[in-house]
Structure 1
Amino acid sequence: MTWHEIEREQLAQALRDVTPDAPTLCEGWQARHLAAHVVLRERNPVVGAGIAVPALAALAESRIAALADQATTEGSYRDLVARVADRPAAWHPAAWVADTRNVIEFFVHTEDVRRGAGPVAAREVDPDLVEALWNQLKRTGGLRLRKVPVGVVLVRGDGVRHHLRSPKGDHGTVVVHGEVGEVALYLFGRGAAADIAIDGERTDVATIEKVLPSR
């Protein structure tokens, strides 16, 4: 199995382990909303585009809410989770970019479900998955920081470093320390639930905290 297939099953299992109304780290979403998001992201072009096109965001949210509203009972919720576990057909465009698109997405959403009700023990991450996540972070981890003038260096738990972005103007660089999975959660907006540490000048740390709060 590829990593996106393994992580899809991890996500589906995390969803099976909770109730439809279980909280998640996604503000305003319960487990059924997150499941609806994953299903529609791969199968509904409006929802898929709404992630990147602000003008479609409200419509995408309404479609996610509508599907989630159909999954309030245990049976209907289990049916929805089964659709999460059922990957798109090989001919579907979502299947063509599954490894580059879904590994980190599914990893983060699994933690959204696992940590939604509060802190839990970090799950053991296979070393090969660590490398897959790290490679994706190096490519896309700075997307949320496009307008942030502060430089960012990532440092893994094993000491491996990556210069994610350079500072602009008079700003300096902050250093984000943590295991790769925790850094992924931080860079994808789940800093309050991630076990990371940030070093740097107070003003630079404050600047990045406005975009990616860590507490």
Structure 2
Amino acid sequence: MTWHETERAWLADTLRATAYDAPTLCAGWQARHLAAHLVLRERAPRAGAGAVGTVATRGPGAATERLAATVEGPEDYAALVDTFAAPPPRWSPLAWAGDAVNASEYFIHTEDLRRGAGPAEPRALPDGLRDLLWGQLLRMAPVRLRRLGPGVVLVRPDDLRSAVHRARGGHGTVVLRGEVGELVLAVSGRLQAADVTVEGAPDDVAAVRELLTGP
């Protein structure tokens, strides 16, 4: 199996283990909204179901809200989760997007569920998935941080590091330290739920926290 297939299965299992009205890290979303987002993302992409870098701060869109509203109990929820658990139809762009688009999405949303009600132990990631997420993080971070004044350096426990944003406007550089999965969560706007240390001058740290902390 590819990593996105593995993560789809993990996410589907996590959805099934979560009550349909359980909170998530996504502002305004219960588990049923997250399931609706995932289904619409793959089967009705024009509905604008949201993307990995924005969903934590957008709240449910109209299409997601409508589909989530049809979930009135566990049976409705189970049916929606089963729809997501099956691969998307061949006509969907997400059917051929593979790891490049889906792996981080599924990983992040699994953690949205696992940590919605409070802290959860970080997952121990296989080396291959860790390396894939690291590569995707290094591409995502410069876009996510582009308007930030302080610079940002990401540092893994093995001391592998990457400067993903250059300081400007007289600001210094902030260092984020953590496991790869935790850094992915932090940069995607879930810093408040990630096991990451933030080091730097107080004003610069505050600016980074303001950008990367969801409601």
- Regarding TM over 0.5, the answer is yes
Q: What is the CA–CA distance in structure 2 between the aligned matches of 1:37 and 1:117, rounded to whole Å?
A: 19
User: What's the counterpart of residue 96 of structure 2?
Assistant: 96
What is the CA-CA distance between 1:45 and the residue it aligns to?
2.9
Q: How many residues align?
A: 211
Q: Matched residues in 2 for 1:40 and 1:141: separation?
A: 25
Decide whether the 8 Å contact of 2:25 with 2:116 is kept in 1: yes
Does the CA contact (< 8 Å) of 2:146 and 2:165 recur in 1?
Answer: no
Check whether the contact 1:35–1:81 (CA below 8 A) recurs between aligned residues.
Answer: yes
For residue 5 of structure 2, what is the aligned residue in structure 1?
A: 5
- 1:148 is matched with 148
Matches within 5 A, 1:37-56: 37-48=37-48, 51=51
Structure 1 equivalent of residue 28 of structure 2: 28
Alignment partner, residue 70 of structure 2: 70
Structure 1 stretch displaced more, 82-91 or 14-23: 82-91
Letter in 1 for 2:120: V
Structure 1 letter corresponding to 2:140: T
In 2, Cα distance between equivalents of 1:160 and 1:144? 21
TM-score normalised by the chain length of structure 1: 0.91
Find the aligned partners of 1:214 and 1:47 in 2 and give their Cα distance. 23
Partner of 2:178: 178
TM-align CA RMSD: 2.2
Structure 1 residue 24 displacement after superposition: 0.6
- The residue aligned with 1:112 is 112
- Cα displacement string for residues 54-101 of structure 1 (whole angstroms, at most 9, x for unaligned residues): 9xxx9x711101111111211110000011111213443112222111
Q: Any gaps of 5 or more consecutive residues in structure 2? A: none
Give the structure 2 partner of residue 187 of structure 1. 187
Looking at structure 1, the residues matched to 172 and 27 of structure 2 have their Cα atoms a distance apart, in angstroms, of 31
Q: Name the TM-score, length of structure 2 as normaliser.
A: 0.91
Contiguous gaps of at least 5 residues in structure 1: none
Once residues 5 and 113 of structure 1 are traced to their aligned partners in structure 2, the CA distance between those partners, rounded to angstroms, is 18
Q: Which amino acid aligns with 1:16?
A: R
* Structure 1 residue 47: Cα displacement: 2.8
RCO greater where, 1 or 2, for CA within 8 Å and sep 6 or more?
A: 2
In the other structure, the counterpart of 2:85 is 85
Contact 2:150 2:208 in 1 (8 A): yes
How far has the Cα of 1:51 moved from its partner? 4.4
Tell me, yes or no, if the aligned pair for 1:142 and 1:187 is still in contact at 8 Å: no
Report Cα offsets for 1:135-161 as digits up to 9, x if no partner: 000111232212112111000111110
Contact 1:32 1:72 in 2 (8 A): no
Secondary structure of 2:84's aligned partner: helix
3-state SS in 1 of match to 2:212 = coil
User: Distance in 2 between the 1:111 and 1:51 partners?
Assistant: 15
Partner of 1:131: 131
Rate the CA distance shift 1:214–1:48 in 2: closer, same or farther, 3 A. Answer: closer
